[in-house]
Structure formats: C-alpha cells, structure tokens
Structure 1
Amino acid sequence: MPGPAPLDRDTAPHDPAGTRPVARLQFRAIPQARHWLLRAALLCVAVLALGLTAQLVPGGSAAELGVDQDLSQHHAALLTGVAMVLNVVFGPAAGVVLVAAVALYLWVVRRSLVKAVAFGVVACSGWVASEFFKLIIARQRPNPALLFDPLSPETGSNSFPSGHVSFAVALGFALYFLARGTRWARIAAAAAVLVALVVAWSRLYIGVHYPTDVAASFLAASAAVLLVAGLWNRFAPRILERLPAAVPLRSTRS
C-alpha cells in the first residue's frame, strides 16, 4: 500500500523565527492506503454483514460446527501441542507481554519512543476491533459438549470475531511496518501471513470458534490497522510538536 511519506524521512520543522527545531525526532509515517477511511468503513460493514448473517441464517452455526467437529475427531499430539502453544502466546496476557517487550526494545535500545508507540498502537488495534464487534454481534461460542475432544472448553457470547486471530493479524502488520524498506520486509510479510493463518487454524482445531469467526478477524484487524494508520499520520505530528523539549522522544543515534 502506498504511504504518504518514506518511513525514514527526517522532519524537523522550525518555529516562524527559524531559531529552534520544534520536532526533535524522526517522524515515522505508518504506511497508509488511499481512501483509508472509506476502505476501513467498507471492511467494517463487511464484518457486520458476515456476523449478522451467521447469527440470523437458520442452521448457519450448526453447519459451521461440523468443521470444528471434524477437526476434533482427528487430533494429533504434535498438532495439539502447536495449537495449545498458540492459544497461550496470542492470548491477552502473553500478547500484552509480547507487545510491551518489543515496544520497550524500540524505546530503550533503538531510542525511539515514537516508533515504540506506533508499534504498540498498531499491534493492539486488532484486539480493540475484535472486542468492538464482539459486543455488537454477541455470538455464542461452539458448544464444547458437542465436540469429540474439546481441548480448551470456552463458553460465552464472545465468539465473533476471534481475538487471537485479530491480534495475530495486527501484530503481523506492525512487524512488517518495522521491517518495511529493509531486506527483511518480504520475510516479515510472508511470516505475518503464515502465522495469522496458522493461528486461525488453531482456533478451529481447538474448537473455540466457527470458520466465519476467524475469517471476519482478518477483515476486522485490517480495518483497524487502516484506521490507525490514517489517524496516526494525520494527528501524531501535531501532537508530537506540542510535547515539551524535555521529553526524550528520540536520540541522534537511531
């Protein structure tokens, strides 16, 4: 997606008298799609349409449950181990630790508070989006009693979309944005897609989501990232320029 400015372009606007720099950092614009607000809105509409259809179409959930039931009957030790590890790693507690660790590295080691905040906001946007749609759709999770081998029985009206998958998608975007413009960009993009797909599979394998739940997660997280990128690029420079000069936003080493 085309961005409004190169990721590593220095911007240091000065006051009208030209006596001192106002922004003491290298502002990093998040890659931003054209018509980002419209695209984000269309993706949100698609998520809502998918969720309402899944809720209102008679027998829809029962038909989707067949996918979970089929996977539940063919569990294997290795695959179960992978699924359960992903269940923890991309869960809320471990996810917060993961995002905080990367953000802390960017702030302390790379000396870029701006980059750390941008990474954290993008990575967490998937969670926020999933919780927003969960409240609206309020779809019940698959009944673990109907599964042959329920690995992590969960109940409640928070099935649509999957928070784990939404987080995996947004985290993939955030890591790709960090790697963009380097030799690691393609590897980061491919890894992000692969991990998101594997996490989506794991949610069905464990039996805690329907196929439409994980499919909608890709749309919801993408909408959140589009929205965050557009808002960040529009408002972050103005906010940063107003911060006191004592705030250590970025060192000259990075």
Structure 2
Amino acid sequence: MSALQTRLQVLPQPRLWGLWVLSLSLIVLALGFYAINSARFTTDEFTLDQDLSRHHDGIFNVVALSIGTIFSPAGGVLIIAAVSLFLLIVRKSPVNAVAFGAVAASGWLSSQFFKAVIARPRPDPALLFNPLAPETGSNSFPSGHVALAVGLAWAFWFLARKTRWARITAILGICIPLVIAWSRLYIGVHYPSDVVASLLAASAAVVLFAAVWNQYQRRVLPRVPLLGRFGPLAPTVSEDRSANQ
C-alpha cells in the first residue's frame, strides 16, 4: 500500500521544463499587455460577451451561476482542503495530500500573479444585455475560476496516471475547465483572452511547482513530524527500486 501512498513523491516533469515555464509565461504576459493596450482588441472580444448576454436561458443561467459559486475562492479552498484531508486521513497518504493540495493551489494562485501584473479591467456590466452577476475591478486577466479548474485537473491527473482512471480523468480534466471558461464568458465577467490565458498560466505554474517539488520534497517533508503520523513519507527501498526500473 505504501507505494500508492507515496505515488506523488515524484511528479511528472517535462524535459526542458524551464523553457516550458518561460515560454508559457511570456505568452500570457504578451497577450495580457496586448489586451490592455489595444482598445479594438478588447472591443472585438466584448462582442462575444454581449452576444452571449442576449441569449441567456434559465437553465444555462443556473448552471453558469452554480459553477461560479463552486469554483469561487471559497469553493476552491473547500475543494482542495476536502481532497487533501481525504488523502491524508482516510487514505493515510501525507505525501499525496501535500502534493495534491500544492499542485492545485499553484495552478490557481498563478492567476493572482498575472492579475497583479496586467491589471485589466473587467467587462463593463452596464454594456451587457442581461448582466447575471456584475463584477468590476482590475482583476479580469486571467480568470481565477479557470485557473483553479486547471490546477485541480493537473492534481487529479497526477493521482490517476498509470491507473484505470487515467483516461476518464484526462477527459474530465480537459472538459471541465472548458465548461468553466464558457460559464465565465456566459455570465459576462471575463473576456475570451482571460480564460485562454488561465489555461496557459496555470499549466506553467504546475510545471514550475513540479520541478521544485521533485527537487526539495524529500528534504522538506521529513522535517514536518506531524505528517509522519498519518502515513509513510517515502516508499521502502524495494518499492523505490521497483518504481525506477
């Protein structure tokens, strides 16, 4: 069982991971700065929000608003905490619990960094035909809701990879962020480039975190004695050798 309890001790890490992080981050920054400096680009993007606002439907309204609540900051904290506690207490997997929570949080919090740098105003709800949940402020780019979904998608896939659940997890990990992206445009609180940037920013953050985790977690986790009371912090020597063969 301990091999499963420590399966996230080493996270998947692409070759040239630093180049991936740098490239994705530069794309996000370039898109963000272009968006805030091109009035025409913003106007063209806003036409999609306006068109969706003209075609609001009762059922879709409920779905979009419910998604907004579930993947809100409070909802994100609850989701990450619930899964992490389940892994820690029920599955007795402190390594998996910490890794899952940190992966999901890194993807989610990436949006806050780029929001601070870009500071793009949200779409003007007064210009929408039917504003469902008017939001204002300079925190439109990128979408925190979508970044949270992407962070969770990566975290769940890391848990499910090389198991029978890997395929369905990957499919859901693609579909759910796209549905959430649609819901943010449907409500009218983000521009299309906001949600696209979230996919890239959150993925860059997860790749960066995976590299840091793989480098330092073996040194850091054993220094937290409380974690060891819930389960193993490392596989046995034989399990470690098997995993590397």
Give your verdict on TM over 0.5: yes
What is the RMSD computed on CA atoms of the aligned residues?
2.1
How far apart in 2 are the matches of 1:176 and 1:46?
24
Structure 2: distance between partners of 1:220 and 1:180 = 22
Q: What amino acid maps onto 1:191 in structure 2? A: L
Query: Which residue identity lines up with residue 160 of structure 1 in the other structure?
Result: F
Answering whether residue 110 of structure 2 is matched by residue 129 of structure 1, we say yes
Aligned to 1:171: 152
Higher relative contact order structure (alpha carbons within 8 Å, sequence separation ≥ 6): 2
* 1:247 Cα deviation after fit: 3.3
In the alignment, the residues of structure 2 paired with residue 243 and residue 99 of structure 1 have an alpha-carbon distance, to the nearest angstrom, of 20
Structure 2 spans left out of the alignment, 5+ residues: 236-245
Structure having the higher helix fraction is: 2
Following superposition, the deviation at residue 126 of structure 1 comes to 2.1
Residue 50 (structure 1) aligns with: 31
**Paired position in structure 2 for 1:115:** 96
Does the 8 A contact of 1:26 with 1:250 survive in 2? no
In the TM superposition, residue 195 of structure 1 has moved relative to its aligned partner by 0.3
In the alignment, what sits opposite 1:158?
139
Q: Distance in 2 between matches of 1:168 and 1:191?
A: 10
> Offset at 1:240?
2.8
Give the aligned residue type for 1:152.
A
Aligned residue in 1 for 2:21: 40
The CA deviation at 1:28 is 2.0
For 2:184, the aligned partner's letter is: R
Aligned length in residues: 233
Counterpart position of 2:180: 199
3-state DSSP of counterpart to 2:39: coil
Work out the CA distance in 2 between the residues paired with 1:88 and 1:199.
Answer: 11
Higher mean C-alpha displacement, 26-35 vs 95-104: 26-35
- Residues 228-239 of structure 1: matches in 2 within 5 Å? 228-239=209-220
Aligned counterpart, 1:183: 164
Deviation, structure 1 residue 8: 4.2
* 2:124 equivalent to 1:143: yes
Q: Distance in 1 between matches of 2:108 and 2:197?
A: 13
Given the alignment of the two structures, is residue 91 of structure 1 paired with residue 91 of structure 2, yes or no?
no
Deviation of the 1:109 alpha carbon: 0.5
Mark the structure with the bigger radius of gyration. 1
* 186 and 145 in structure 1: CA distance in 2 versus 1, 3 angstrom threshold: same
Give 1:58 deviation, angstroms. Answer: 3.1
Write the deviation string for residues 112-171 of structure 1: whole angstroms up to 9, x where unpaired.
111101000011112210000000000000000000000000000000000000000110
Q: TM-score, normalised by structure 2?
A: 0.90
Q: Distance in 2 between matches of 1:198 and 1:246?
A: 36
In the TM superposition, what is the alpha-carbon distance from 1:93 to its structure 2 partner? 0.3
Q: Supply the distance in 2 between the matched residues of 1:27 and 1:123 (Cα, whole angstroms).
A: 13
Number of the residue aligned with 1:102? 83
Aligned partner letter, 2:57: A
Identity between Structure 1 and Structure 2 (%) = 53
Contact 2:94/2:228, CA 8 A, preserved across alignment:
no
Separation (CA, whole Å) in 2 of partners of 1:53 and 1:238: 42
Query: Aligned partners of 1:192, 1:127: CA distance in 2, in Å?
Result: 14
Q: Does residue 67 of the first structure (1) align with residue 16 of the second (2)?
A: no
Query: Does the residue aligned with 1:59 lie in a helix, a strand or coil?
Result: helix
Give me the TM-score of the superposition, normalised by structure 1: 0.87
Instruction: Tell me the equivalent position of 1:76.
Output: 57
